[in-house]
Structure 1
Amino acid sequence: MSAKDCAHHHRERRKLYHRLFLILSSSIILILFLVFLIWLILRPTKPRFILQDATVYNFNAAAAAGGAATGLNLLTTNIQVTLASRNPNERIGIYYDRLDVYATYRGQQITLPTLLPVSYQGHKDVTIWSPFLNGNAVPVAPYLGVEISQDQNAGRVLINIRVDGRIRWKVGTFISGRYRLDANCPAYLSFGGENYSPNSILVGSTAKYQLVQNCHVDV
């Protein structure tokens, strides 16, 4: 075979590889475009969270040993909450890969995170969890000790139930990558006296609060 024939075959082979590359690239781009188009048409809506109730077993602030001069700086919190999540989408399912629930007071975390079970939520489905949130003798900033004292004297305290997690969307057989979910559920709790709230039910030394409070959700 002459050098001219070799060069000709080499050019033909390069053209064939180039065509195959263009076909493969075009197919991938078309598939991605169709997935994106379906995604835009379906327009996934973030899940809706509701804090239904909270049962307070302990919410107590105390001074650390030798810390009377600095006021209340240790907070013990034992609460059980009922959270409901609803998938508002008609054609999109939601995988809850990881959900941590914890309580905060004026921006500071006051309980350990409680891990909820991994679950899948179908179209228009509702999922309910009832986790326990516990924080024993958690140190708080000195200024928060003053705030806690004032709230307890007023008989009313605001804590926030936070949900931090990772979710995935399911459209047909397509499953998206992970998205971060953050939910913030305010809970106003009253403690006896003239400020005692009618939405709470005393059970022995505990109080159960019927809240039905919508949560702010970011995805």
Structure 2
Amino acid sequence: MSEKVCSHHKSKKKKAVRTCLAVVAVVVFLALLTILIVWAVLQPKKPRFSVQDATVFVLNVSAPNVISTTIQITVLSRNPNSRIGVYYGKLFVYANYNNQQISYYTVIPPTYQGHKDLNIWSPFIYGTNVPVAPYNGLRLAQDQSAGAVRINFKIDGRVKWKVATFVSGRYHLHVTCPVTIPLPGSPGKPAGVVVGNNAVKYQLSQTCTVSV
């Protein structure tokens, strides 16, 4: 008699566990479905970046395979979403010339960008005696002689999306800003404004490509 009672209790216990698991699965499914529906309705858009100006302090080739750079850029970031906020983690800014990094990483601190908000950052990007491939040193010298240098300013980091009280997981953010810097005295190029000893500021307004 006791064995039948025990087996009956075990059966009820298993049934309760299965019911509980089924309820949890339904709740999780409905929560995920709600998030997906909200996400589809809101249609999140990537942040938009652009470089507004660049101030060149140093840009020279001290040897065929050594480049020194000090440039301050003004970066504009815009959140195009009307219902979604953006959390930026640390952003790392650096300069690339002809597919080779020519500066150290400059860090932009974490920040939050609200709906339709605009952020402006002005990081200094620099590298002292950075070794490069010899052909890049020669090419930079040639570009300087020609009167214009094309540099890709890159921003790498992570972002989170905020919808009401929901905050998403982290996504990788990759921004590339191709900028052509006209050098002083370049014929047919917009003149820069001298802002200090050997420093020239150029108005650019160059759009960046963004990948999330």
* TM bracket, shorter-chain basis: over 0.9
Q: In the alignment, is residue 111 of structure 1 matched against residue 103 of structure 2?
A: yes
Question: How many pairs align?
Answer: 211
Q: In the alignment, is residue 97 of structure 1 matched against residue 116 of structure 2?
A: no
8 A Cα contact 2:155 2:176, kept in partner: yes
What corresponds to 2:58 in structure 1? 58
What corresponds to 1:134 in structure 2? 126
What corresponds to 1:211 in structure 2? 204
8 A Cα contact 1:87 1:121, kept in partner: yes
- Letter aligned with residue 207 of structure 2: N
SS at match of 1:80: strand
Task: Give the stretch that moved more between structures: 191-200 or 104-113.
Answer: 191-200
- Letter aligned with residue 212 of structure 1: S
- Letter aligned with residue 192 of structure 1: P
What corresponds to 2:185 in structure 1? 193
Specify every segment of 5 or more residues in structure 2 that has no aligned partner in the other structure, as ranges.
none
Measure the CA separation in 2 of the matches of 1:4 and 1:148: 88
Shift of 1:199: 4.8
Measure the CA separation in 1 of the matches of 2:4 and 2:210: 69
- CA distance 1:192–1:140, shift in 2 (3 Å): same
- Letter aligned with residue 95 of structure 1: Y
Shift of 1:33: 1.2
SS at match of 1:46: coil
1:83-136 CA distances to partner (integer Å, 9 max, x unpaired)?
010000010000001101111111111111100011000000000000111101
Output aligned runs, 1:134-153, within 5 Å.
134-153=126-145
SS at match of 1:100: strand
Q: Which of 156, 163, 180 is the aligned partner of 1:171? A: 163
What corresponds to 1:43 in structure 2? 43
Superposition TM-score, scaled by structure 1 size: 0.92
Measure the CA separation in 1 of the matches of 2:192 and 2:179: 12
- CA distance 1:16–1:131, shift in 2 (3 Å): same
What corresponds to 1:161 in structure 2? 153
What corresponds to 2:11 in structure 1? 11
- Letter aligned with residue 205 of structure 2: V
Shift of 1:5: 2.2
8 A Cα contact 2:53 2:205, kept in partner: yes
SS at match of 1:193: coil
- Letter aligned with residue 142 of structure 1: P
Shift of 1:25: 1.2
Q: Which of 69, 88, 101 is the aligned partner of 1:77? A: 69
SS at match of 1:124: coil
Measure the CA separation in 2 of the matches of 1:187 and 1:4: 81
8 A Cα contact 2:184 2:191, kept in partner: no
1:154-181 CA distances to partner (integer Å, 9 max, x unpaired)?
1111011110111100011111111011
8 A Cα contact 1:92 1:123, kept in partner: yes
Superposition TM-score, scaled by structure 2 size: 0.95
Measure the CA separation in 1 of the matches of 2:32 and 2:81: 22
